[in-house]
Chains A and B, each alone.
Chain A
Amino acid sequence: MESVEYIIEMLGITKEFPGIIANDNITVQLKKGEIHALLGENGAGKSTLMSVLFGMYQPEQGEIHKNGKLVKINNPADANRLGIGMVHQHFKLVHNFTVLENIILGVETTKGGFLQLDGARERVVKLSEQYGLKVEPDALISDITVGMQQRVEILKMLYRDNEILIFDEPTAVLTPQEIKELMKIMKNLAAEGKSLLFITHKLEEIKEVADRCTVLRKGKYIGTIDVDATSKEEMSEMMVGRKVNLAVDKKEKEPGEIILQVEHLSVKNRVNSKNAVHEVSFKVRSGEIVCIAGIDGNGQSELVYGLTGLIPIAEGTVSLKGKDISTLSVREHSMAGLGHIPEDRHKFGLVLDYNLAYNLVLQSYFKPQFCQGGFLKYEAIYQYADKLIAAFDIRSGQGAKTLARSMSGGNQQKAIVAREIDRNPELLIAVQPTRGLDVGAIEYIHKKLVEERDAGKGILLVSLELDEVMNLSDRILVIYEGEIVADLNPKTATIQELGLYMAGAKREEGR
């Protein structure tokens, strides 16, 4: 009866979606009181596997055992009953409910159908003190920070007395300091006898907290290892299937003339018309990659919208190669020499119901090359598309005629990069260009950005990934609550320092 030492076992799980096997015969065994990491690239099947454990998907094959006994998990309610809780990558919180309402939702105490909140509030306060999870029970979710929202998610599990806690990519949205704090909380929880499953693709974090680690690759089980006995390089090779060198190959380059000059730029928030970007000034020169670093929601999106003309700017000027473009339309911005890889490829970057060729000319369909007398020139469009598909190695089922929707994330992003780079812009704004991509695609896009820089273009990179920020940029601007609070050199700055600026705990003199 060896299996009894495991609190949860997922044995031989197979889950298929139309056209793809997301999990192919995967086994994960979680010991009581351990922190067990689940390592894999984007698309390796980690989230699918956890959704199976949480009852959101039913596997085609395989069994789940709890304390050695076979269990059936048909829905999240079953998972809750078995003591399984999950902090989802995209928080499952109702934005206009209070913290307390979110915590009790689904397990409310009632008297004759009426909510009884007082007892619940007491319990939440007690739990938050016990585990060091500071929250304000009566604040609305929409008013609190991402870090606090995550603590609410953890409290949700504790309030339900869950003993198996799943953390799905919990550090993606946090500052380095917050990540440290979370690691401490996770160790605390394990010490209290909880068993943790920790989904991530970040090796440092695994080294920091995890006891054991199961590695997945492309939906397949690769192996389970003892974290202390395995080096980061070995884990990385298991995850990707080959040796990886994420350090970008980048030569020294002296920046040239000023490409983008931003002076006292303010952009208003579209919802409450407060300044989301406040009095920001900076320059981007030719041949340099300038990175805007910061926690999500500190005005990065609005800054980009303002620079590209997607929303009108409130104050200040933006000039491109000396020409004032502050008041131009989006189309005029793009014609003036501005390329834009947008933050959300599905929302902004692509018309998913158009085919690849149409998406590749989305920024140029109106030019004489593709359009004559109001009519589109089909042959020219498809020839051009074939050219880009070959040049940028964009893979799709039916070539230029493939619906963008049916392409993989990496190839969708390649299509956007191809479209924006081929227009030969003076300044390329790339917002989180590698989000959700696998290592191969990330390497490719990093390489392309460096090529553009070496060709004398200006690159403005907005990224939440600190590794990307440190590896790729020539200069780092830290944005906090809509203001640039630091201008750092990646060669001399440390991650810790960067984190302090990002959290607003530090500010450079004169800024």
Chain B
Amino acid sequence: MSTFYFLVQQTMYFSIPLLIVALGAMFSERSGVVNIALEGIMVIGAFSSILVISYFQAILPGQSILLIGIIIAAVSGLVLSLAHAYASINMKADQIISGTAINMFAPAFAIYVARMIRTVQQIPFVNQFRIEKVPVLGDIPVLGPMFFRNTYITTYLGFIVLIVAWIVLYKTRFGLRLRSCGEHPQAADSVGINVKKMRYIGVMISGALAGVGGLVFVVPTSTNFNATVAGYGFLALAVLIFGQWKPSRILFAAFFFGLMKTIASAYSGIPLLVDLKIPSEIFKMTPYLATIVVLAFSSRNSQAPKAVGIPYDKGGR
């Protein structure tokens, strides 16, 4: 049973960042912009927030410095996403190329800054954020150990983001307008909706959430940051596609991939898998292999927003 609880707790660590980043990507793509830059934005979000955490962790208590970190991650992610928004929306650039450039820029920048100010590229931090047990809730049988022990506030943040994202997308004027821009921007324009503005907001939401996702990914799984999020931004895109651009299915997809990643990273804590004596590299490959297999099955009837990836041109039909 304890292995099971361990597995659930680990899956949370890996699924929640995927959930947050994929939900962010959902806003970007639903507005009509492909954001392949998520990987780089996660790196910058994690880098800037962990840099701050590493400076202030001795002064401020655990949870409050984590909250500050989350805000910094969101802001830095948002700022970097503006570069992508500008290229994609104003300059009508190829969105894949712009995203690739940002993905190349982010780790180089993180390493450059880290080495210029600290001479080494790794940034260590003390993990003082783990909550051993949530009072009262942690004592509930079964559910307590699964969701309320060895947990982080970021886990609950993930679920809050999910609920808010669902409400915003389906129940608000903003959501309706955003979706119309990703499906048929000419229609949106013809009824007076500012397509560029909506797309900017979509990309900025994805940037902020990807920044947060970077921090949320690094905190439970490591004690230093080495300018990489191990392809998580790309996996989040796969989660989005597998989740068919819908919040509820994204939740499911995030947990599926989270489980794959858990197997890849924490298999050594799962006796059953250790007994198989499979080399660690094979386990490390599973999330990426799973992505390919899943995409092969889900790409035929893709429900991607119709206008995603296409720069909006006023004259077009």
Q: Which residues of A contact B (CB under 8 A)?
A: 54, 56-57, 75-77, 80, 86, 88, 90, 92-97, 101-102, 105-108, 110, 113-115, 156, 271
Contacts and interface: CB of A to CB of B under 8 A. Distances in A.
A108 B173 contact: yes
B1 interface: no
User: Top 5 closest A-B pairs, CB basis?
Assistant: A77-B192, A106-B191, A92-B187, A92-B190, A108-B173
B118 to A, nearest CB: 44
A105 B183 contact: no
Contact of B173 (A88, A102, A113): A113
Given A94-B184, A95-B183, A95-B306, A115 B190 contact: no
Contacts of A107: 191
B183 A80 contact: no
Interface in B182-201: 183-184, 186-193
B189 A76 contact: yes
Interface string B266-307: 000000000000000000000000000000000001000010
A75 B184 contact: no
**Which of B173, B174, B183, B189 gathers most chain A CB within 10 Å?**
B173
Interface centre among A80, A93, A106, A110 (most CB of B within 10 A): A106
A172 B59 CA distance: 72
A96 B244 CA distance: 14
A75 B197 CA distance: 14
A105 to B, nearest CB: 5
Contacts of A115: 171-173, 176
B180 A97 contact: yes
A92 B181 CA distance: 12
A113 B187 contact: no
Interface residues of B, number: 23
Contacts of A97: 176, 179-180, 183
B286 to A, nearest CB: 33
A188 B260 CA distance: 63
Given A105-B180, A105-B187, A105-B188, 20 more contacts: A54-B190, A56-B314, A77-B192, A86-B190, A88-B190, A92-B184, A92-B187, A92-B190, A92-B191, A94-B179, A94-B188, A95-B183, A96-B183, A97-B176, A97-B180, A101-B176, A105-B176, A105-B191, A105-B193, A115-B176
Q: Which of B176, B179, B193, B306 has the most CB of A within 10 A?
A: B176
A80 B187 CA distance: 13
A75 B176 contact: no
B192 A75 contact: yes
A95 B191 contact: no
B173 A110 contact: yes
Given A105-B176, A110-B173, A115-B173, A93 B191 contact: no
A93 B317 CA distance: 12
B178 to A, nearest CB: 11
B133 interface: no
B130 interface: no
Contacts of B306: 95
A245 to B, nearest CB: 32
A96 B187 CA distance: 13
Contacts of A56: 189-190, 314-315
A377 to B, nearest CB: 35
12 contacts: A56-B189, A56-B314, A56-B315, A75-B192, A76-B189, A92-B184, A95-B183, A105-B191, A105-B193, A106-B192, A110-B172, A110-B173
Contacts of B315: 56-57
B249 interface: no
A205 B174 CA distance: 41
Contacts of A95: 183-184, 306
A271 B300 CA distance: 9
A97 B191 CA distance: 15
B189 A93 contact: no
Contacts of B189: 56, 75-76
B184 A76 contact: no
B183 to A, nearest CB: 5
Contacts of B187: 92-94, 102, 105
Given A108-B173, A115-B172, A115-B173, A94 B192 contact: no
A76 B183 contact: no
A39 B94 CA distance: 40
A357 to B, nearest CB: 29
A95 B315 CA distance: 20
Given A76-B189, A76-B190, A80-B191, A94 B183 contact: yes
A75 B196 CA distance: 13
B180 A156 contact: no
Contacts of B301: 271
A95 B184 CA distance: 8
Contacts of A96: 183
A156 to B, nearest CB: 7
Nearest to A108: B173
A495 to B, nearest CB: 29
A54 B314 CA distance: 12
B314 A114 contact: no
A113 B191 contact: no
Contact of B193 (A102, A106, A113, A114): A106
A93 B306 CA distance: 12
B192 A108 contact: no
Contacts of A110: 172-173
A484 to B, nearest CB: 30
Contacts of B183: 94-97
Interface in B133-188: 171-174, 176-177, 179-180, 183-184, 186-188
B177 A105 contact: yes
Contacts of A108: 173, 176
A296 to B, nearest CB: 16
B247 to A, nearest CB: 15
Contacts of A106: 177, 188, 191-193
Contact of B192 (A57, A76, A88, A271): A76
Contacts of B314: 56-57
**Most-contacted residue by chain B among A76, A88, A108, A110 (CB, 10 A):** A76
B217 to A, nearest CB: 31
A94 B180 contact: yes
Contact of B191 (A76, A90, A114, A271): A76
A114 B317 contact: no
Contacts of A75: 189, 192
A277 to B, nearest CB: 21
Contacts of B176: 97, 101, 105, 108, 115
A16 B183 CA distance: 29
A216 B172 CA distance: 44
A75 B190 CA distance: 8
Contacts of A54: 190
Contacts of A88: 190
B303 to A, nearest CB: 8
B191 A156 contact: yes
A77 B174 CA distance: 17
A106 B172 CA distance: 12
Contacts of A92: 184, 186-187, 190-191
A107 B190 CA distance: 12
